[in-house]
Amino acid sequence: MENFIVSARKYRPVTFDSVVGQGTVTKTLKNAIKSNHLAHAYLFCGPRGVGKTTCARILAKTINCNNISGEIEACDVCESCQAFNESRSFNIHELDAASNNSVDDIRNLIDQVRIPPQVGKYSIYIIDEVHMLSAQAFNAFLKTLEEPPEHAIFILATTEKHKIIPTILSRCQIFDFNRIKVDDIVARLKFVADKEEVEAEPDALHIIAQKSDGSMRDALSIFDQIVSFSGNRISYKNVIENLNVLDYDYYFRFVENFLAGMISESLLMLDEIMLKGFDPHHLVTGLSSHLRDLLVCKDPVTVQLLEAGASFRERYLKQAGTCPVSFIFNSLEILNSADVQFRQSKNQRLLTELALIKITRLNQTEEAESKTNHTIPEKKKESISEPSENTPKVVDEKSVESEKTKPDLKYASEPEKKAEVPEVKISEKKVSENKPAYEPKTTSIKDGLKGAFKTSEAGGDDKILVERKQEVIQDNPFKPEDLLGKWKEFAEKIKEERPRLSITLRMQTPELMEDAKIRVEMQNANQDEDFTKFLKPDLLVFLRKELKNDNITIETTLIKSDKDSKKPYTQEEKFEFMSEKNPNLKVLKQQLGLDFE
């Protein structure tokens, strides 16, 4: 029985071209070898498992090769390459700084550097995890690192570049290794699977690549683990079961429930997920990633940012077409807020359930707003359009006499038709009964986040009159005490849903001017802006209905505060300020010959 070698070692790159995801680094090193511009010290830094030590070993092997190929790769035939492959080379020294981090260890290294190579041209010293050296060891290493013998080349590798002192950094050529892309890891895993005669589904390899977090070594280790679990056939189901990954299908079903407004189904799915052993926080972060992927699918330019298998890619594109962009934005903000509050929450399940409920209500709120902001339906338009010959004209009792005295300009040229139109009188009370009663608006997540965008789209005060669909303009006089009573009544109505704005209303005292104009004084510009955006439209509708006067308008003014004047700061300014209130202070100052210090 042959000894098993893990894939991370068995398929470790041995040439520059086989290094995955670090094309810039390998190209620079090959050009340096080709032009014979080798530095005496290199620093390879980056996350774990991205090829730092591998590139260091390939560089050490290549620069000592006696027959470098035209592609700047080692020949694997000469004595130096053979010694390296069999781990018996005396020219390449690997040192673990984690276990050799003292000054004595560096002194031994310095003594060893003086010995020239027996075979080959260079002695290469690879120091891994160099950030583990002590401060004294770094200082002892400085002189040798700056001016080593001609035959010595140092290659330092670290995952924590910020822990290395600047004097070391300044003596090295620094190469930053990036995290390996998901597609590159998938391609490498597919290569290894073919070599090992393992049948693997593309979606399964994508999950492994995403779980590895940009580390090729981690991806190969997970691959070996899955092969041990499922044999020579790796399926998507086996991968998510073994790695404790939540199935993507749950996220798609959650979004479908959100759009359909099914709160109970979403809560039942959360319970099902928790029964499988998943933490609620896992759902919050996973759902955030899913919505992010839907967002990048909304624009053909950003689809390339989607990291998913081919089968899921089509499903993402299909579901993204059914999700409004505003819904995705607001959902991400809700989930992000829940993610931030998760550690501090004592009832994490309730926090997750509230987030799911808020997201489900988002789409319902947007649909309700779109219904209220849409244009008047055709049937309703007919009721306010020009009256036909056989259509009875509906008028208000109070406006009958004014209509008789005022000539109808529209029908002045057709007096016969006007006479034929019968008039039906109805009371004002009956007209008002057909109007919908005022209901305070519910505060949705979108209202809280986007402010009064809906107000600006509504078209201002004139649009409100159209939405009320009134044919008769009311102009009943009212008293200041009536105004104050209705003002406080509206503040009480919105107390539970908009407490901060309710307090703002209760603090104000409206002043009734001529022509039903109401003036309100605001403390500052921010308060004025909040009142204009969030309160004024609804307050106008309420007051016009309750006071039966459609000519009501509201204007705001800012209170001029003494705080705007310049405050006394220096001793002279304070004295002048006090002298304005008490002129005798100047007299006292002159008589006593006082002066400022």
CATH class of the domain whose range is 182-242 = mainly alpha
CA atoms of 356 and 345, how far apart (whole Å): 16
**pLDDT above 90: residue 154:** yes
Is the CATH number 1.20.272.10 carried by domain 248-372?
A: yes
- In the chain, the percentage of residues whose pLDDT exceeds 90 is 16
**pLDDT above 60: residue 329:** yes
**pLDDT above 60: residue 528:** yes
Model confidence at 336, pLDDT cuts 50, 70, 90, reads very high
Residue of 295, 284, 294 whose CA lies nearest to 355? 284
Q: What is the mean pLDDT of residues 572-594?
A: 82
CA atoms of 100 and 76, how far apart (whole Å): 31
pLDDT for residue 529: 81
| Exposure letters 497-525 (e unless 16+ CB within 10 A, then b) | ebeebbebbeebebebeeebebebebeee
**Global confidence as pTM:** 0.57
- In the chain, the percentage of residues whose pLDDT exceeds 70 is 80
Model confidence at 418, pLDDT cuts 50, 70, 90, reads very low
Q: What is the mean pLDDT of residues 108-119?
A: 85
Model confidence at 189, pLDDT cuts 50, 70, 90, reads very high
Query: Collapsing DSSP states into helix, strand and coil, what is residue 364?
Result: helix
Q: What is the mean pLDDT of residues 290-316?
A: 84
Element (DSSP H or E) covering residue 301: none
Model confidence at 548, pLDDT cuts 50, 70, 90, reads confident
Q: What is the mean pLDDT of residues 527-541?
A: 82
**pLDDT above 50: residue 203:** yes
Domain boundaries, the chain: 7-176, 182-242, 248-372, 378-433, 445-558
pLDDT for residue 407: 46
| Exposure letters 109-134 (e unless 16+ CB within 10 A, then b) | beeebeeebeebbbbbbbbbbbbbbe
Burial label for 29, CB within 10 Å (0-12, 13-18, 19+), is: buried
Top-confidence residue, 116 or 372: 116
Q: What is the mean pLDDT of residues 202-208?
A: 88
Edge-to-edge strand order for the sheet containing 511-512?
Answer: 511-512, 517-522, 553-558
Asked, colleague to colleague, whether 7-176 and 182-242 share their fold, the answer is: no
Which residue stretches of 469-548 are H helix?
480-493, 499-507, 525-530, 536-546
**pLDDT above 50: residue 9:** yes
Residue of 123, 126, 133 whose CA lies nearest to 103? 133
Quick check: 269 and 250 in contact, CB under 8 A?
yes
User: For residue 450, what are its two tokens?
Assistant: 């986007």
pLDDT for residue 566: 58
Which of 223-227, 234-238, 283-287, 305-309 bottoms out in mean pLDDT, i.e. has the lowest?
Answer: 305-309
Listed in sequence order, the residues at least 6 apart from 515 whose beta carbon sits closer than 8 Å to its beta carbon are 551
Q: What is the mean pLDDT of residues 499-514?
A: 82
How crowded is residue 164: how many other Cβ atoms within 10 Å of its Cβ? 19
**pLDDT above 50: residue 570:** yes
pLDDT for residue 404: 45
Mean pLDDT of the chain: 79
DSSP state of 534: I
Q: What is the mean pLDDT of residues 190-214?
A: 88
Kindly report the CATH number that applies to the domain delimited by 7-176.
Answer: 3.40.50.300
pLDDT for residue 597: 63
**pLDDT above 90: residue 174:** yes
